[in-house]
Structures are given as structure tokens and as C-alpha cells.
């Protein structure tokens, strides 16, 4: 599938139940080329497993289902809550 807001949100919808079961969540902020900018919410903000969740659940699923327009690997960047 194409890398766009609708498809990224669709992939996030697969992950959100797992995050919300621990009191957390994720929001899409913007997409620039192959970079996806997100914000964690709730208990995900200070979670010590956040980097593991980012790599194993979020990036892996995005890469599995979506293709970037320029052929470069999809990269997820976390924006802190004040950005």
C-alpha cells in the first residue's frame, strides 16, 4: 500500500489496542517523504519500553504493509509532547 495518512492510520489501528491496554496511544503528526512523525500519548510517554514498541510494533508493521514513495526505508520519528 502507498505511504499516506489514511494507510498509516490503518496500520496504527492494528497497534492501538495493544497500546491502549497499557494506558497509552499513538498519534500521527505528519508524513514527509519516507519519514513518519508521531507523538506517543498516555503511559507511552514515559514508558521504558517505548523504543522497543517503536521498532518492533510500529516500524515493523508500517514496513510490512506500506511502501515509501521514494523507495527508501520508512523511518518513524517521535515528537515530544511540546513539539
pTM of the model: 0.90
- Give the model's pLDDT for residue 70: 85
Superfamily of domain covering 5-78: Fe-S cluster assembly (FSCA) (3.30.300.130)
Q: How many CB atoms within 10 Å of residue 23?
A: 11
**Tens of pLDDT, residues 35-48:** 999 999 999 999 99
In this prediction, residue 81 has a pLDDT band, given cuts at 50, 70 and 90, of: low
CA atoms of 49 and 58, how far apart (whole Å): 13
Q: Where are the domains of the chain?
A: 5-78
Mean pLDDT, residues 49-78: 93
Q: How many CB atoms within 10 Å of residue 18?
A: 11
Classify residue 57 as left (phi > 0), alpha (psi -120 to 50) or beta. alpha
CA atoms of 83 and 74, how far apart (whole Å): 21
Amino acid at each position: 500500500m502507498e505511504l499516506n495518512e489514511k494507510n498509516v492510520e490503518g496500520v496504527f489501528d492494528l497497534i492501538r489496542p495493544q497500546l491502549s491496554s497499557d494506558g497509552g496511544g499513538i498519534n500521527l503528526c505528519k508524513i514527509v517523504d519516507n519519514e513518519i512523525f508521531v507523538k506517543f500519548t498516555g503511559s507511552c510517554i514515559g514508558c521504558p519500553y517505548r523504543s522497543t514498541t517503536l521498532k518492533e510494533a510500529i516500524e515493523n508493521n508500517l514496513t510490512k504493509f506500506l511502501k515509501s514513495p521514494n523507495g527508501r526505508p520508512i523511518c518513524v520519528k517521535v515528537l515530544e509532547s511540546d513539539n
